[in-house]
């Protein structure tokens, strides 16, 4: 049976793309952020994933407001990155896993998640940059399945619904007869707000509580409405919904493997968390 060997949750700030391109990993501004990742890469070398399911939000590359799915799952043989408008370098394409994608879709729709399915999709920095942080050589030794969550246009799916989607993904993987080892990657956040007079809002206290909750009390954040999450984490901090999808794929009991938190990268409090299923 396929198995989820762990989750990685990380910020996906576009400026990371520029920093990678310019080789600024040891620059004093960037070092506290990039130094979070070698332990994750060591961990990946031990858990040896075949497939990465990536929960993220599209920022207006694949989806426009003409058609905005609440949840969408990729079912393509390959996913390309493309120009997003502000000149971060385009990264190499990712190999998909169509068989497992369709199994996920069958299983999730079977559990009443009314998904949009995508046989063609381009993937933006929210997928590509976390992948490049995990595999800096960008040779992608894994197949990828995108799971896209609407964090752009209200009404957003609730935190509780995102957590349940993760749980359903966990069950779908567990019911797949292959022997794939799967990592679930959730990207975005943590607290930040780009727009309005409240731009620059960061909430360290909330972020640390949220990170902490994911190990032993994973449903903690589901007590909040998406509007309350905007108030607590900022208009784009609500991207933490993707972390909840990832966390939901693990059993209730999980073990913290690695954590990093740093303020600020661009306008964002950056977070990084690796969890493994306990037992």
Partner 1 sequence: MSTIKPHQPVPGTTIFDGEQARKGYALNKMCYSFNEAANRAAFLANEDSYCERYGLNAEQREAIRNRNVLQLIAAGGNAYYLAKFAGIFRLDMQDIGAQQTGLTKDEFKAKLLAARGE
Quick one: how far is CA 54 from the chain centroid? 5
Our CB check for partner 1 shows the closer of 14 and 178 to be 14
- The kind and range of the H/E element at 47 are helix 38-47
Stretch that binds partner 1, among 46-54, 59-67, 95-103, 164-172 (CB under 8 A): 59-67
**Is residue 22 a contact residue for partner 1 (CB under 8 A)?**
no
Q: Given candidates 256, 263, 276, 277, which one binds partner 1 under the rule CB under 8 A?
A: 263
Query: Is 103 in the active site?
Result: no
Q: How far is CA 259 from CA 37, 156, 232, in A?
A: 10, 27, 21
Cβ proximity of 61 and 82 under 8 Å = yes
Shortest gap between Cβ of 73 and partner 1 (angstroms)? 21
Shortest gap between Cβ of 204 and partner 1 (angstroms)? 6
Q: Given candidates 131, 202, 214, 259, which one binds partner 1 under the rule CB under 8 A?
A: 202
Shortest gap between Cβ of 263 and partner 1 (angstroms)? 5
| Residue in the structure block whose two tokens are 């391109």 | 21
Question: What residues have CB less than 8 Å from 203, skipping those under 6 apart?
Answer: 191, 232, 233, 234, 237, 269
The catalytically annotated residue of 12, 59, 125, 262 is 125
Shortest gap between Cβ of 146 and partner 1 (angstroms)? 17
What span, in angstroms and rounded, lies between the C-alpha atoms of 81 and 198?
31
**Is residue 236 a contact residue for partner 1 (CB under 8 A)?**
yes
32-35-39 Cα angle (round to 5) = 145
Q: Which two tokens stand for residue 91?
A: 């990264």
Catalytic residue ranges? 125, 192
Binding stretches for partner 1 (CB under 8 A) = 14-15, 59-61, 64-66, 82-87, 152-155, 193-200, 202-204, 227, 230-231, 235-236, 263-264, 266-267, 269
């Amino acid at each position: 049976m396929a198995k989820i060997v762990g989750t990685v949750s990380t910020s996906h700030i576009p400026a990371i793309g520029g920093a990678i391109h310019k080789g600024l990993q040891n620059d004093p501004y960037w070092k506290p952020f990039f130094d979070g990742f070698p332990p994750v890469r060591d961990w990946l070398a031990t858990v040896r994933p075949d497939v990465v399911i990536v929960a993220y939000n599209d920022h207006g590359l694949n989806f426009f407001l003409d058609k905005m799915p609440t949840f969408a799952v990729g079912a393509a043989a390959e996913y390309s990155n493309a120009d997003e408008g502000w000149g971060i370098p385009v990264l190499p394409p990712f190999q998909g896993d169509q068989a497992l994608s369709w199994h996920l879709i069958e299983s999730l729709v079977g559990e009443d998640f009314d998904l949009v399915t995508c046989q063609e999709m381009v993937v933006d920095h929210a997928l590509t940059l976390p992948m490049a942080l995990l595999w800096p050589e960008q040779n992608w030794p894994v197949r990828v399945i995108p799971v896209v969550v609407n964090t752009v246009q209200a009404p957003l799916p609730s935190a509780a619904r995102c957590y349940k989607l993760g749980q359903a993904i966990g069950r779908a993987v567990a019911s797949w007869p292959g022997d794939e080892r799967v990592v679930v990657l959730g990207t975005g956040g943590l607290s930040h707000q780009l727009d309005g007079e409240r731009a620059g809002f960061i909430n360290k206290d909330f972020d640390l509580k949220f990170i902490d909750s994911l190990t032993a009390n994973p449903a903690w954040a589901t007590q909040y409405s998406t509007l309350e999450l905007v108030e607590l984490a900022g208009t784009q901090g609500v991207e933490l919904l993707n972390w909840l999808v990832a966390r939901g794929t693990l059993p209730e009991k999980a073990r913290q493997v690695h954590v990093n938190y740093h303020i600020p990268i661009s306008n964002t409090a950056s977070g990084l968390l690796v969890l493994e299923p306990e037992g």
